[in-house]
């Protein structure tokens, strides 16, 4: 059986590794000169920056991605962050910024700023919502209804901005509670030693050891579809036949590559579903410092800024991600859809935030990256993802344009690949993470 994969991002490489392990003859076509997509490193003055991700896995060594890597024989060391996350709050309760000082509190104490009444309500809600999670509306609406407090909205915005590049009012509440449940089940963040590149390079080694081929600088310009069946791809005007086509470029770009548009009802419904898909946008500011600015390996959430949602300092886990005695700090901020045209202003607001987050500290801005449109944070915003199957038999979509439910970023990519493999190999038992 022959499988062609479009794109050598994490989703494409995970699928290729799993299929090559099952004996498929796998061929990957990647249009860029490098593999890894938004999950690899770029060297900048000896700092290992990245093409997208912040060198962090949402569920660390016990999540779905770690489980899948283990299953395909990709040996990568992933170190659990400790603490998982801290929240920077103003030292004075009535302040709305850090100008009069701040303190960092553990993530699980996020309710400590709430009124006594809301703290009591929160304890009860934590039990009842696990038994019966809310289903309708957005997380923002749910917070307004149950805990209408500024601190709750700010903390939720920092969490959603950091992990999904969305505001809490944009996240469907069902998806949010699925994410919380997975945090309980799989645990918190972790850092792959060597950064993102260690994962995508190891997957490439597995694929090639299993006899697969990876072509770079090779763009797929068409997916051959006929009679609602995919039968290969077009590369440089040449047709390559395949039993399976796996696309890592999101549903919208995949559909645009298909050579036919069938008249079936299923296809019409699919086209309607695509209209709701929207990528999430974000800004990453990479800093270099001679001393630790955060001092731990978890996330520092910053709810009391104008824009920056959170930061990490991965050199506390892997010092090799920076030159000797230097630290790499990465700040992330969500960019609202209606602010993409004002990206320069968003950058300025982010830089001002950093001055307030790290007063009197010396650091250098290494790189500022804006991610939107064709190179977004997520090709499909969390909670909006549609299935990995398409109306064409033999054509599947993987990657962050078709994440599994409740999967934050690359964990969602792994869950989507697991769903796809379960569909292809009808009786495959899903390989999930080992959990806490």
Ligand X SMILES: Cc1cc2nc3c(=O)[nH]c(=O)nc-3n(C[C@H](O)[C@H](O)[C@H](O)COP(=O)(O)OP(=O)(O)OC[C@H]3O[C@@H](n4cnc5c(N)ncnc54)[C@H](O)[C@@H]3O)c2cc1C
Stretch near ligand X under the rule CB under 6 A, chosen from 92-100, 136-144, 180-188, 406-414:
406-414
Stretch near ligand X under the rule CB under 6 A, chosen from 23-31, 223-231, 271-279, 421-429:
23-31
Nearer to ligand X, 143 or 415 (CB): 415
Binding residue (CB under 6 A) for ligand X from 3, 4, 5, 9: 9
Q: Is 178 in the site for ligand X (CB under 6 A)?
A: no
Cα dihedral 152, 154, 155, 157 sign: positive
- The residue behind tokens 């039993």 is 243
Q: Three-state DSSP class for 36?
A: strand
Task: Please return the burial class of 355, using the count of CB atoms within 10 Å of its CB with bins 0-12, 13-18 and 19+.
Answer: exposed
**Residues 79-118 contacting ligand X, CB under 6 A:** none
**Residues 332-391 contacting ligand X, CB under 6 A:** 332, 371, 377-378
Binding residue (CB under 6 A) for ligand X from 5, 6, 69, 207: 6
Binding residue (CB under 6 A) for ligand X from 248, 255, 318, 346: 248
Binding residue (CB under 6 A) for ligand X from 48, 52, 156, 327: 52
Binding residue (CB under 6 A) for ligand X from 31, 42, 193, 234: 31
Residues 6+ apart with CB under 8 A from 394: 229, 230, 231, 242, 243, 244, 245
Stretch near ligand X under the rule CB under 6 A, chosen from 5-13, 83-91, 111-119, 320-328:
5-13
Q: What is the nearest approach in angstroms of ligand X to the Cβ of residue 388?
A: 12
As given in the structure block, the two tokens for residue 171 are: 């996240």
Q: Which helix (H) or strand (E) holds 163?
A: helix 150-164
Nearer to ligand X, 9 or 90 (CB): 9
Contact 215, 6 (CB under 8 A): no
Contact 228, 270 (CB under 8 A): no
Binding residue (CB under 6 A) for ligand X from 207, 293, 409, 420: 409
**Residues 271-310 contacting ligand X, CB under 6 A:** 282, 284
Q: Three-state DSSP class for 428?
A: coil
**Residues 187-226 contacting ligand X, CB under 6 A:** 219-220
Q: How far apart are CA 255 and CA 223, in angstroms?
A: 9
Stretch near ligand X under the rule CB under 6 A, chosen from 72-80, 179-187, 359-367, 405-413:
405-413
Contact 418, 431 (CB under 8 A): yes
Q: Three-state DSSP class for 91?
A: coil
Q: What is the nearest approach in angstroms of ligand X to the Cβ of residue 342?
A: 18
What one-character-per-residue DSSP string does 48-84 give? EEESSS-S-BTTGGGSHHHHHHHHHT----EEEPSSS
Q: What is the nearest approach in angstroms of ligand X to the Cβ of residue 10?
A: 4
Contact 67, 43 (CB under 8 A): no
Nearer to ligand X, 191 or 293 (CB): 191
What is the number of alpha carbons within 13 Å of residue 137 lying toward its C-beta?
Answer: 11
Stretch near ligand X under the rule CB under 6 A, chosen from 3-11, 73-81, 266-274, 355-363:
3-11
Binding residue (CB under 6 A) for ligand X from 10, 68, 223, 242: 10
Residue with smallest beta-carbon separation from ligand X: 9
Measure the N-to-C terminal CA separation of the chain; round to a whole number of Å.
Answer: 37
Stretch near ligand X under the rule CB under 6 A, chosen from 48-56, 71-79, 149-157, 420-428:
48-56
Q: How far apart are CA 95 and CA 101, in angstroms?
A: 9
State the residues that interact with ligand X by CB under 6 A: 6-12, 29-32, 37-39, 52-54, 56-58, 219-220, 248-249, 282, 284, 332, 371, 377-378, 399-400, 409-410, 413
């Amino acid at each position: 059986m022959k499988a062609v994969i479009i794109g050598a991002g994490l989703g494409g490489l995970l699928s290729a590794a799993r299929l090559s392990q099952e004996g498929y003859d796998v061929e990957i076509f990647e249009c860029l000169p490098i593999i890894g997509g938004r999950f690899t490193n770029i060297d900048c003055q000896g700092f290992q920056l990245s093409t997208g991700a912040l060198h962090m896995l949402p569920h660390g060594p016990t999540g779905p991605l770690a489980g899948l890597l283990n299953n395909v024989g990709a040996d990568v060391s992933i170190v659990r962050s400790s603490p998982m996350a801290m929240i920077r709050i103003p030292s004075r309760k009535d302040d709305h910024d850090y100008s009069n000082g701040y303190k960092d509190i553990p993530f699980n104490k996020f309710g400590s700023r709430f009124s006594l009444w809301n703290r009591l309500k929160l304890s009860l809600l934590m039990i009842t919502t696990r038994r019966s999670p809310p289903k309708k509306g957005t997380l923002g609406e749910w917070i307004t209804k149950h805990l209408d407090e500024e601190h709750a909205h700010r903390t939720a915005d920092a969490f959603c901005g950091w992990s999904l590049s969305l505001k809490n009012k944009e996240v469907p509440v069902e998806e949010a509670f699925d994410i919380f449940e997975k945090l309980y089940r799989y645990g918190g963040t972790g850092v792959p030693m060597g950064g993102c590149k260690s994962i995508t390079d190891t997957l490439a080694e597995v694929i090639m050891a299993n006899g697969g081929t990876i072509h770079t600088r090779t763009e797929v310009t068409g997916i051959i579809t006929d009679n609602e069946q995919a039968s290969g791809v077009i590369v440089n005007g040449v047709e390559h036949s395949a039993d399976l086509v796996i696309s890592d470029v999101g549903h919208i770009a995949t559909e645009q590559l298909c050579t036919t548009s069938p008249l079936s009802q299923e296809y019409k419904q699919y086209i309607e579903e695509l209209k709701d898909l929207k990528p999430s946008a974000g800004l990453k500011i990479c800093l270099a410092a001679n001393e630790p600015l955060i001092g731990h390996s978890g996330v520092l959430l910053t709810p009391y800024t104008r824009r920056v949602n959170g930061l990490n300092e991965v050199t506390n886990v892997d010092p090799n991600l920076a030159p000797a005695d230097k630290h790499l700090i990465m700040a992330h901020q969500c960019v609202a859809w209606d602010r993409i045209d004002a990206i320069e202003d968003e950058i300025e607001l982010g830089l001002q935030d950093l001055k307030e987050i790290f007063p009197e500290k010396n650091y250098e801005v290494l790189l500022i990256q804006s991610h939107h449109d064709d190179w977004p944070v997520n090709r499909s915003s969390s909670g909006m993802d549609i299935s990995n199957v398409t109306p064409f038999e033999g054509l599947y979509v993987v990657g962050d344009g078709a994440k599994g439910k409740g999967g934050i970023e690359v964990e969602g990519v792994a869950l989507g690949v697991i769903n796809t493999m379960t569909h292809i190999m009808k009786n495959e038992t899903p390989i999930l993470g080992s959990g806490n």
